[in-house]
Amino acid sequence: MSEARLEAGVHHAAVHNDSLKFGMWLFLASEVIIFTVLIAAYVVFSLDNRGIVKQIHESTINVLGLRLPSVFLVALNTFFLLTSSWTLVMGLREAERGSRKGLAQWITYTAILGIVFLVFQYIEYGILAHEGVVINGTGPLAEFGMRFYTPTAIHGAHVLVGVLWAFWVIRQANRGAYDQNPVGVEVFGLYWHFVDVVWIVIFTVVYLI
């Protein structure tokens, strides 16, 4: 009898994990729609105003005395975000192998990379604002600005939430909350990777095309 109950308990845990992950997926489903609206508001503009978009894409930035295309900074940022996703799944791998220390270490990398992403986004906003791309005002640069800043800033807010969540996961990992069942890391991972996927789309649609 006790063995049957134990097995039933394992099954229950599996269903519980499935519930948590499915709940996160459904929440992300609604996030898909929100980002669709915000990105569509940008694309409607960019298709009709190729000149302004080109002008901003072809501007250059000054990095340590080198004139580089403006896409350099954001490409670096994309790379950071992709790397943070990788460190996260490596952390999950450690968690599944039962290593508290490894998990906390890899998630720390994720959090740091998220912070670096936000810092670079802040620098990038500064450069653009200096060039006259503002969120409120008049003129074509402001029209571009409001449609550019809204999706990217809301994405940045999601990254910020993810970083805070990462710190929570590190704290829980050190307390041993994921020793038996690392689903908490996996649910956080779903959120973080989704934010990464949104950035993949924004990077292509807003910065490259």
Q: Which residues pair with 67 in a beta bridge?
A: 62
Rounded to a whole number of angstroms, the CA Rg of the chain reads: 21
DSSP summary character for residue 49: -
Contacts to other proteins from residues 133-192, by CB under 8 A = 135-138, 140, 142-143, 146-147, 150, 154, 186, 189-190
Q: How far is the CB of 124 from other proteins (least distance, A)?
A: 15
Q: How many residues bind other proteins (CB under 8 A)?
A: 78
Q: Least distance to other proteins from the beta carbon of 73, Å?
A: 11
- Tell me how far, at minimum, the Cβ of 144 lies from other proteins, in Å: 9
129 binds other proteins (CB under 8 A): no
Judged by CB under 8 A, the chain residues 47 through 86 that form the site for other proteins are: 47-48, 54, 57, 69, 71, 75, 78-79, 82-83, 85-86
In angstroms, what is the minimal distance from the CB of 113 to other proteins? 12
98: left (phi over 0), alpha (psi -120 to 50) or beta: left
194, 31 contact by CB (below 8 A):
yes
Residues 114/163, Cβ–Cβ less than 8 Å: yes
- Choose, by CB under 8 A, the member of 56, 73, 88, 128 that binds other proteins: 88
Report whether 191 contacts 24 (CB < 8 A): yes
